[in-house]
Amino acid sequence: MAQIEILTEDARWTDAGLAALAETACNAALAELSLDGDYEISLLACDDARVAELNTEFRGKPTPTNVLSWPSEDRAAQIPGMIPQLPDGAPHELELGDIALAYDTCAREAEAANKPLKDHVTHLLVHGTLHLLGFDHINDPDAALMEGLETRILAKLGIEDPYRV
């Protein structure tokens, strides 16, 4: 079960019920992978300006984005399309990392896709949690694995496949 510490810089996230969404989404991702330790995730609930600063600093991209993540360890699989080296619950592996969400971008994307904000944010939290666990979408095999997991997790939460056209 994930222990999620939320730093709220934008009060709109409180109004959106982010704490409950994060608990549901992050724990669903961990459960799908049979991870039942007391894992820790730090979540920054902010706006586009803050995420743009972080995106510039860490990725060299001076624009906002919906979600950013910083895994505490490199868990990436050595072979594209394979499951990453998941944490085994050892004390040094309990801290999974940090996720940041930009309210403005998330709300714009949800509206443009005609989706409830809570569904879109749940997807992004699942996505961010999977990144913390070593999943990625840099190449086609990794993207197929990650998107398949996201779709399966979201379906269990009653949320439509975000990748279906």
Q: What is the pLDDT of residue 69?
A: 98
- What is the separation of C-alpha 150 from the centre of its chain, rounded to a whole number of angstroms? 10
Q: What is the pTM for the complete model shown?
A: 0.96
Does 120 count as an annotated binding residue?
no
Structure token pair of residue 133: 């666990």
Work out whether strand 95-102 and strand 67-71 pair parallel, antiparallel, or are unpaired: antiparallel
Domains along the chain?
Answer: 3-156 (3.40.390.30)
Does 127 count as an annotated binding residue?
yes
What mean pLDDT is reported for the chain?
Answer: 96
Mean pLDDT of 81-104: 93
Give pLDDT tens digits for 116-145. 999 999 999 999 999 999 999 999 999 999
Q: What is the pLDDT of residue 90?
A: 80
